Structures are given as C-alpha cells and as structure tokens.
Structure 1
Amino acid sequence: MPQQEAVGVIQTLGFPSILAAADAMVKGGRVTIVFFDKAESGQFMVVIRGGISEVKPAMEDGLAAAENTFGGKVMTHYIVPNPPDNIVAVLPIEYSDKVAEFRS
C-alpha cells in the first residue's frame, strides 16, 4: 500500500518570510515544494507535498521560520492530509516534471 500523502500551504506577507519558510520546510522533513506564487497585496504562498508524518513537522519549521524573519507575518496556513484525486487533478499541487528531481 502506498504511503498516504499530505499537502501543506503557507501564505505570508513579504518574500523574505516565504523564502525562509520554504527553506525550513524542505530541511525539516522529506517534502517537495510543488507550487509557489504571488498571492495578493504583497503576499506569497508555497505548497509542499510529502508523507503525512513528514508534512506536519516541515510545516511547523516553516511557520516558525516565517514568523522569525524580520517583518515576516504568516497570513494563513493549512494541511490537507490525503487529498482526494479530484483535488490533486484540479489544483496546482501535483508533482510535476519540474520538481521530479527534488522529490523526496
């Protein structure tokens, strides 16, 4: 049986804090960044995927790093354990060829 996966999303105010969050997340768990984009009004978001047991500590590390970045502010965050196939197919959270070499 394949390992169940989760999706984690962090949205911050300002680029330095999302960069710090992304760095901390990939160092804090066996996760892969699958999406990054500007959100709105100077906000940025990053999305990770990985095993459920890896996403939670990676998110905790990312949230702490974002909050500890000068001027950083976490606007929102969320973890979706074991997203259904229809969500993965529609939202930009699928593993792509672009991130395949970094997949944990």
Structure 2
Amino acid sequence: MKTYEAIGAIETFGLVFVLEACDAMCKAADVELVGYENVASGYISVIVQGDVAACHSAVEAGIAAVEKMNAEVYSSVVIASPHADLNKLIERYQLVNLLPEEEGDAS
C-alpha cells in the first residue's frame, strides 16, 4: 500500500450526501478515495488520502457540498502526519476490499 502524508475523512448521514461529498473532494484536490464505511443507521464515513494541503482542500470542499444540499456533516478530520499503524485501519476500508472479486480473478 502506498503511504501518504495525510488522511482526511467526512461523516454524514445518507448515501446521496456521501456521494456528493466524495465527488467534491476528488474534484477539488489531488486526493485518492480510499474507501467508505457505513458506520451505523445510515451514518457513512468516507476517507481520502493525499498530501496535507490536498486533504484540507478536499475535506473543506466535501463539507461545503454536503451543506449546500442542506444536510449536516457530523464530523470531519484531517490527520496531517498519521502514525504508521493507521495504515492497518485504512487498509480495512480500501475500496478493493469492499468490491466483489471479478470472474476469472482467482488467485
């Protein structure tokens, strides 16, 4: 797994708002969408990685996009210099771990 300088995350309620946040985040800055987690009862968190400035820009853009839809961002964070052990947590939420295997993709 590639190591990044920073991670950013947004948590809101509902898939539509998370999709809007993800779209805004990825368009606003040079970040990579790591994945998402349906936390509980419709609360969904989305995680991006990139350099510190890009993660700050992405999180700000995601928050603005959700608020523009008259929804609430319940929490957000940018961790500028994450401890190496956070990679263990981030790996769990990677999109490749959430998608079904393609046919003929047996290892």
TM-score (norm: length of structure 1): 0.80
Aligned to 1:18: 18
- 1:21-42 Cα deviation digits (max 9, x unpaired): 0000000000001021211121
Distance of aligned partners of 1:93 and 1:83 in 2 relative to their CA distance in 1, 3 Å threshold: farther
Aligned to 1:75: 74
CA contact (8 A) 1:6 1:51 kept: yes
CA contact (8 A) 1:17 1:67 kept: no
Q: 1:1-104 maps to which residues of 2 (within 5 A)?
A: 5-70=5-70, 72-88=71-87, 90-93=88-91, 98=96
Q: Please identify runs of 4+ aligned residues in structure 1 that moved more than 6 A.
A: none
Distance of aligned partners of 1:65 and 1:4 in 2 relative to their CA distance in 1, 3 Å threshold: same
Aligned to 1:101: none
Listed as ranges, the gaps of 5+ residues in structure 2 are: 97-107
1:66 aligned partner, one-letter code: V
Distance of aligned partners of 1:61 and 1:97 in 2 relative to their CA distance in 1, 3 Å threshold: closer
Listed as ranges, the gaps of 5+ residues in structure 1 are: 99-104
**Alignment size in residue pairs:** 94
- 1:31-90 Cα deviation digits (max 9, x unpaired): 0010212111211110000011111111110000011125x22111111012121121x2
Shift of 1:4: 6.0
1:65 aligned partner, one-letter code: A
